[in-house]
Amino acid sequence: MKIEATALPDVLILTPARFGDERGFFSESWNRKALAEAGLDLPDFVQDNHSMSRRAGTVRGLHYQAPPFAQGKLVRCGRGALLDVAVDARRGSPTYGRWVAVQLSHDNGRQLWIPIGFLHGFVTQEPDTEIIYKCTAHYDRASDGAVRWDSLGIDWGVDDPLLSNKDRDAPPFAEWTSPFEYRTAA
């Protein structure tokens, strides 16, 4: 497993090895022991989600789940390609409001670790794109929230995205009060 840092501390790119031949490939997308041996100890995952977007240019996000049901996510692309975005939403963080965007695709096999305290969103770059992600907390409807996708200067690469009403009506980042607080290691 290749582990790469991003411009945001704690947000990581994980790329599992692929073993392929004329039949296709095999990849071990998650292995706690291998990650621990590489020095990465991620929290336990309790839920897997799978989403498919029919149209390229579909934006989903920026989403979060507030404490005490906040979620860390390990995100990958099962089919197609997407630009995955994480935004630091931890009040008091030196990188508060900054974002990182990483292309995830079926072809590149990359995964993005998005810890608790970060907003998450993505835009599909191909039709019928599937995103698969592990979560560290179960879904809780009352804790579910969104921040407007175009309120942070993120270059999504689309002019006229397909949006849900939730994402279209979400408050802009500057008018939103984050439920997350930055904590330094003691």
Give the position of tokens 């079926």.
106
In this structure, what are the phi and psi dihedrals at residue 33, rounded to the nearest 5 degrees?
-60, -45
46 has a pLDDT exceeding 70: yes
Which residues are part of the catalytic machinery?
63, 133
CA 22, distance to chain mean position in Å, is 32
CB 113 within 8 A of CB 76: no
The pTM of this model reads: 0.94
pLDDT digits (tens, 9 = 90+) for 103-131: 999 999 999 999 999 999 999 999 999 99
Beta carbons within 8 Å of 69's beta carbon, 6+ residues apart? 137, 138, 139, 140, 143
The pLDDT confidence band at residue 179, using thresholds 50, 70 and 90, is very high
Q: How far apart are CA 184 and CA 186, in angstroms?
A: 6
78 has a pLDDT exceeding 90: yes
Please choose, from the candidates 102, 93, 90, the residue with its C-alpha nearest in 3D space to the C-alpha of residue 64.
90
What does pLDDT average to over the chain? 95
Q: Is 135 helix (H, G, I), strand (E, B) or coil?
A: strand
Mean pLDDT, range 150-178, rounded to an integer = 97
Out of 29-38, 103-112, 116-125, 133-142, least confident range = 29-38
DSSP assignment string, 150-186: TSS----S-SS-B--HHHHHSPPGGGPPPSEE-----
Would you state the pLDDT for residue 184? 78
